[in-house]
């Protein structure tokens, strides 16, 4: 398929639109937790691994500190986490969940399966979704390694 200036032909727009629509679909569930979508992503990272430097979250979410720092400051103000300078290297800031932040994981436990149900349809099976995740992760890897150079 020769790429053209038509909206539907390009990969960029479907990915961009799907991202926004999926996030919209998450919103009612996340409202119950009092989290925005990016805040939810930060919590997902910390629920997997706690007491990590800011750089770890930056790397996982493929965002920069100019986005992550304000996000963490808001989550700190909400009482979900703490930010404290590392003793070994005072440049690093270690992010740790509070009890409240850890507790929230239980409340979030049902979200993934509820969301998966929202995305399935006659045209999109669970296998399709798995394949999509797979190919998108390869695409991300390609785009990300070029960045490093």
Q: What residues line the site for DNA (CB under 7 A)?
A: 20, 23-24, 27, 36-39, 53-55, 58, 63-74, 83, 89-93
Q: Is 53 helix (H, G, I), strand (E, B) or coil?
A: strand
59 interacts with a copy of itself by CB under 8 A: no
* Rounded Cα–Cα distance for residues 36 and 27 (Å): 7
Interface residue with a copy of itself, options 33, 36, 41, 58 (CB under 8 A): 41
The binding track of 69-98 with respect to a copy of itself, each residue x by CB under 8 A or -, is ------------------------------
Report the residue number, 12 or 99, with the smaller CB distance to a copy of itself: 12
Q: Could you tell me the two tokens for 115?
A: 């969301």
* Residue among 49, 138, 36 at smallest CA distance from 94: 49
Compute CA distances 2 → 5, 7, 10, 139, whole Å.
Answer: 10, 13, 10, 19
29 with 40: CB under 8 angstroms? no
Query: Contact positions toward a copy of itself, by CB under 8 A?
Result: 1-26, 37, 41, 44-45, 47-48, 60-63, 105, 108-109, 111-113, 115-116, 118-119, 121, 123-124, 126, 128-133, 135-144, 146-147
């Amino acid at each position: 398929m020769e790429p053209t200036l038509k909206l539907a032909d390009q990969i960029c727009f479907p990915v961009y639109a799907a991202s926004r629509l999926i996030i919209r679909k998450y919103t009612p569930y996340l409202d119950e937790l009092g989290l925005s979508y990016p805040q939810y992503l930060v919590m997902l990272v910390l629920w997997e691994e706690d007491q990590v430097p800011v750089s770890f979250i930056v790397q996982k979410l493929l965002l920069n500190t100019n986005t992550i720092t304000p996000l963490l400051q808001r989550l700190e103000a909400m009482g979900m986490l703490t930010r404290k300078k590392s003793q070994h290297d005072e440049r690093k800031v270690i992010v740790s969940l509070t009890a409240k932040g850890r507790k929230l994981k239980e409340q979030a436990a049902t979200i993934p399966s509820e969301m998966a149900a929202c995305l399935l349809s006659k045209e999109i099976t669970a296998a399709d979704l798995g394949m999509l995740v797979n190919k998108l992760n390869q695409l991300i890897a390609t785009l990300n390694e070029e960045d490093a150079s």
